């Protein structure tokens, strides 16, 4: 119904909450609301709901209750900064996968069109 309005609200809210959690992360006291592990300084996070919007509605909560700071918290996110409210804890399994993109050498680019006649 008022999906758009709600999203605008949420956006404003995350922008308000983010600096708070950012300070917590930097102080090393932030805990992910999804996996309950610490969010270490430098790690990306998003603002998320402890009780999801869907679940909150199912419980008969008002929007205000759902978006109350007490129901919000930082969650690990690979897309930190977006603040879209989706809960994307990035720390399942605990271990960090050190996969990095390979750089491809392109030394193959030596060929030249033979435009010189001599």
Annotate 25-49 with b (16+ C-beta within 10 A) or e (fewer): beeeebebbbbeeebeeebbbbbbb
Q: Which helix (H) or strand (E) holds 33?
A: none
Q: Which of 25, 32, 46, 66 binds Zn ion (CB under 5 A)?
A: 32
CB contact at 8 A, 38 and 32: yes
Stretch that binds Zn ion, among 35-43, 46-54, 66-74, 109-117 (CB under 5 A): 35-43
Give me the 38-77 binding string for Zn ion, x by CB under 5 A, dash otherwise: --------------------------------------x-
Say whether residue 35 binds Zn ion (CB under 5 A).
yes
Gap between the Cα atoms of 76 and 78, Å rounded: 7
Say whether residue 80 binds Zn ion (CB under 5 A).
no
Residues that bind Zn ion (CB under 5 A): 32, 34-35, 76, 89, 91
């Amino acid at each position: 119904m008022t999906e758009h309005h709600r999203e605008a609200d949420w956006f404003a809210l995350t922008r308000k909450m983010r600096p708070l959690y950012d300070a917590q992360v930097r102080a090393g006291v932030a805990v992910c609301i999804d996996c309950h592990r610490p969010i270490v300084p430098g790690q990306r996070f998003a603002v998320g709901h402890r009780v999801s919007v869907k679940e909150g509605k199912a419980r008969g909560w008002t929007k205000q209750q759902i978006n109350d700071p007490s129901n919000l918290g930082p969650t690990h996110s690979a897309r930190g900064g977006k603040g879209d409210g989706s809960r994307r804890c990035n720390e399942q399994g605990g271990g960090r996968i050190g996969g990095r993109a390979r750089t491809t050498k392109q030394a193959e680019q030596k060929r030249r069109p033979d435009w010189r006649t001599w």
